[in-house]
Amino acid sequence: MGERVFVRAREGAVSTSVALPDLRVLVVDDDADMRELMAMILGTSGARTQCTGSCAEALAVFARERPDVVVADIGLPDEDGYALIRKIRALPIADGGRVPAVALTGFGAAEDKERAVSAGYQRCLTKPVEPDVIVATIAELGRRGVD
C-alpha cells in the first residue's frame, strides 16, 4: 500500500484529552489497519498524519515533508524500525536528523524498550497502545523536541 498524505479523522471518531494542533506526524507501520487507526487517533487530536508501510517509503516521505514527530513500528518488512531510526539519525540536524521519534513494538520487555531508545528513539510504547498514551507521548515530544 502506498503512502497516505495528511489524513484527518472524522470529528468524534476517537476521543483523546490532548490536542496536537497541526503537528506533522509520520506513522510507519506495515499493518494497514494500524496505519488507519493511528491516522484516525492523531487526526482527531488535530495532527496532520502521513502514513507509510516500509522503511524505504518512510525515508522518501521524510525527505519531502519533514515531520515534527516519527512514530514507527519496530517490526517492518525488509528493513526494521531500528534501521529506519539509524538512517534518520545519520542525517544532518538541518535535514531532520534529530526529529523526535516513538517506537511501537509488540514486545514489552525492558530490554526491548532499552534497545529502541539506544537505537535513537526517545520513547518506546508496547502495542496495543491506548489512544491517550500515544497522543500524550507525541504531544510531549513535539513540544520539546529531542532529549
Report the pLDDT value the prediction gives residue 16, as an integer from 0 to 100.
Answer: 53
Q: What is the pLDDT of residue 19?
A: 86
Residue 15 lies in a domain: no
Where the chain has pLDDT below 50, the residues are 1-15, 147
pTM here?
0.86
What domain count does the chain have? 1
Predicted local distance difference test score (pLDDT) of residue 97 = 97
CATH number at residue 132: 3.40.50.2300
Q: Are 124 and 9 in contact (CB under 8 A)?
A: no
In a domain, 47, yes or no: yes
Q: How far apart are CA 117 and CA 122, in angstroms?
A: 6
pLDDT digits (tens, 9 = 90+) for 19-52: 898 899 999 999 999 999 999 999 999 999 999 9
Q: Order of strands, edge to edge, in the sheet holding 4-7?
A: 4-7, 48-52, 24-28, 69-73, 101-105, 123-126
Distance CA 96, CA 77 (A): 23
Q: What pLDDT is attached to residue 17?
A: 63
Cell numbers placing 110: 525492558
In a 10 Å sphere around its CB, with 0-12 CB exposed, 13-18 middle and 19+ buried, how is residue 56 labelled?
A: middle
What is the Cα–Cα distance from 33 to 146, expressed in whole angstroms?
Answer: 28
> What domain range is 29 assigned to?
4-10+20-144
C-alpha 57 chain-centroid distance: 13
What is the predicted pLDDT for the residue at 22? Answer: 85
